[in-house]
């Protein structure tokens, strides 16, 4: 079977799970009790008929009202839970019971199954681990050798590790320090070299897709910002991109090393020619600070996210928009492309992780990855701080709940840590998909993951 055939993301024909809610048995009675006095074939308020399965799928005059597998942002679910800004159902009445709401949520989450033994409309997420989008470099992967000796800067308190990256091919990590970048061996934890970054605080680190270039971005708030490209082997500065009047919060280099993108408090995505530093495009669609940028593993597609929940995908060559990914409503902390380029992951302050199908920009799965909860002792904080795919198809997330989780390619949880003493600000997975490294608020770098 050809590799590309394994990567197709299809509407699945998975039978409804035993005991899972169906429209005929569970949802139709609820709609008849609470909704169909206004939404029936004879009285279709907003052109919506909730008395039949076909009517629900047809939606209203405003478009679809349910999205398979995505309950929390389906219009119908928002209306019955009385989300601000959405017309409440039933109108001018209290919300329906919590049990009824939970049943409707489970029905949407399970794929809108019509009847017992019926088919789910959930998308099947598949991933072939042999499908690397950026070819392994010839010879040995890039490792630092013979870097100039640089004295490590030490302060009375170790600075928080604000940026951390793992090479896609070598046992190598890049760790932010105080106006410095440390290369560390991922197995021995030995420091292999230090790269000066006098530009200021480092906010983002990434390795190029072939592992030969390190992209570092940062600066000084309200004063200056820049992106620096380093040759991994020699530590030499290859290029300095941008001359910003504020910090650069996010940056990336395209897989073919042709484009560099950056963003920050100016709310503008800038795309440069990496060979000469010339500004090619200024994209001003975002309405808040740019918080994350990521180029696709192949081609020139660029994903960007902001502090107000905006996520967009662009063509770097033209500056034209490909998708607006409208699911998040709050600060998006991080973005990451799966190695096959077919899936984009985003994580936000509400703890939600969204897996986006890049065939059509559809949210294939929404997961409460780091959603806080309250017990008798204290309230655990909500929010995703970082996420990253391994080349092998696993995904790691870190959150304000002081936990780290590893997810399978289909978005199902595979492993989670105990609660940690410090906050795991940033996380990355090595190429073996099992070992994770965390950059902590207390300045430490900690290994984690499956044993």
H/E segment holding residue 106: helix 98-109
123, 154, 184 - which closes a domain? 123
Residue 297 inside a domain? The answer is yes
pLDDT at residue 152, as a whole number: 82
What pTM, to 2 d.p., does this model score? 0.81
Residue 140 inside a domain? The answer is no
Residue 289 inside a domain? The answer is yes
Same domain, 73 and 196: no
Same domain, 364 and 443: yes
Which stretches of the chain drop beneath a pLDDT of 70?
1-19, 124-135, 155-156, 373-380, 432-433, 450-451
CA distance 129 to 389: 12
Same domain, 181 and 106: no
Residue 155 inside a domain? The answer is no
Same domain, 111 and 171: no
Same domain, 208 and 328: yes
Residue 29 inside a domain? The answer is yes
Residue 132 inside a domain? The answer is no
Q: How far is CA 40 from CA 49, 54, 75, in A?
A: 5, 12, 18
Largest alpha-carbon pair distance within the chain?
A: 80
Q: Which residues is 323 bridged to in the sheet?
A: 313
pLDDT at residue 181, as a whole number: 97
Q: Which residues contact 7 (CB under 8 A, 6 or more apart)?
A: 126, 127, 128, 131, 340, 342
Residue 35 inside a domain? The answer is yes
Same domain, 290 and 379: yes
Please give the span between the terminal C-alpha atoms of the chain, in angstroms, as a whole number: 33
Same domain, 329 and 197: yes
Same domain, 238 and 357: yes
Of 36, 46, 104, which is closest to residue 71 (Cα–Cα)?
A: 104
Same domain, 63 and 205: no
Same domain, 316 and 180: yes
Q: DSSP character for 25?
A: I
Q: Which residues contact 159 (CB under 8 A, 6 or more apart)?
A: 176, 177, 178, 443
Same domain, 109 and 191: no
For 67, the domain range is 23-123
Q: Which residues is 166 bridged to in the sheet?
A: 173
pLDDT at residue 176, as a whole number: 97
Total structural domains in the chain? 2
Residue 158 inside a domain? The answer is no
CATH number at residue 234: 2.130.10.10
Question: Rounded to the nearest 5°, which phi and psi values hold at 432?
Answer: -80, -5
Same domain, 117 and 177: no
pLDDT at residue 13, as a whole number: 33
pLDDT at residue 125, as a whole number: 61
Q: How far is CA 204 from CA 155, 181, 367, in A?
A: 21, 11, 25
CA distance 32 to 47: 17
């Amino acid at each position: 079977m050809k590799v590309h055939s394994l990567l197709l993301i299809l509407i699945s024909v998975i039978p409804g799970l035993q005991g899972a809610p169906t429209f005929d048995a569970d949802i139709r009675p609820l709609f008849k009790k609470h909704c169909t006095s206004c939404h029936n074939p004879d009285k279709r308020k907003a052109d919506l008929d909730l008395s039949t399965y076909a009517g629900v799928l047809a939606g209203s005059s405003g478009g679809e009202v349910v999205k398979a597998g995505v309950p929390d942002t389906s219009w119908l679910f928002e209306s019955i839970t009385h989300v601000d800004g959405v017309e409440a159902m039933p109108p001018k009445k209290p919300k329906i019971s919590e049990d009824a709401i939970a049943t409707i949520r489970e029905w949407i989450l399970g794929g809108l199954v019509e009847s017992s033994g019926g088919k789910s409309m959930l998308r099947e997420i598949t991933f072939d681990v042999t499908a690397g989008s950026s070819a392994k470099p010839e010879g040995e992967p890039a490792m630092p050798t013979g870097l100039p000796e640089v004295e490590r800067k030490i302060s009375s308190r170790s600075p928080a590790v604000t940026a951390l990256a793992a090479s896609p091919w070598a046992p190598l990590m890049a760790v932010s320090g105080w106006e410095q970048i440390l290369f560390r061996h991922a197995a021995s934890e030995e420091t292999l070299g230090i790269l000066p970054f006098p530009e200021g605080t480092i906010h983002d680190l990434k390795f190029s897709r072939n592992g030969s270039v390190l992209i570092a971005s940062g600066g000084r708030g309200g004063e200056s910002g820049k992106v620096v490209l380093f040759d991994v082997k020699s530590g030499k500065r290859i290029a300095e991109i941008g001359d910003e009047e504020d910090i650069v919060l996010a940056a990336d280099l395209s897989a073919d090393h042709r484009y560099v993108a950056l963003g920050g408090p100016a709310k503008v995505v800038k795309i440069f020619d990496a060979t000469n530093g010339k500004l090619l495009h200024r994209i001003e669609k975002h309405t808040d600070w740019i918080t994350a940028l990521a180029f696709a593993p192949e081609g020139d597609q660029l994903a960007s996210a902001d502090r107000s929940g905006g996520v967009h995908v662009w063509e770097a060559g033209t500056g034209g928009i490909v998708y607006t990914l409208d699911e998040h409503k709050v600060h998006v902390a991080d973005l990451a492309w799966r190695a096959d380029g077919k899936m984009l992951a985003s994580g936000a302050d509400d703890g939600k992780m969204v897996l986006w199908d890049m065939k059509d920009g559809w949210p294939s799965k929404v997961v409460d990855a780091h959603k806080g909860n309250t017990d008798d002792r204290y309230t655990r904080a909500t929010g995703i701080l970082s996420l990253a795919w391994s080349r092998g198809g696993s995904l790691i997330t870190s959150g304000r709940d002081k936990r780290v989780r590893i997810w399978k390619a289909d978005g199902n949880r595979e492993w989670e840590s105990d609660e940690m003493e410090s906050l795991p600000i940033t996380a990355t997975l090595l190429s073996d998909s099992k070992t994770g490294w965390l950059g902590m608020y207390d300045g430490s770098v900690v290994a984690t993951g499956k044993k």
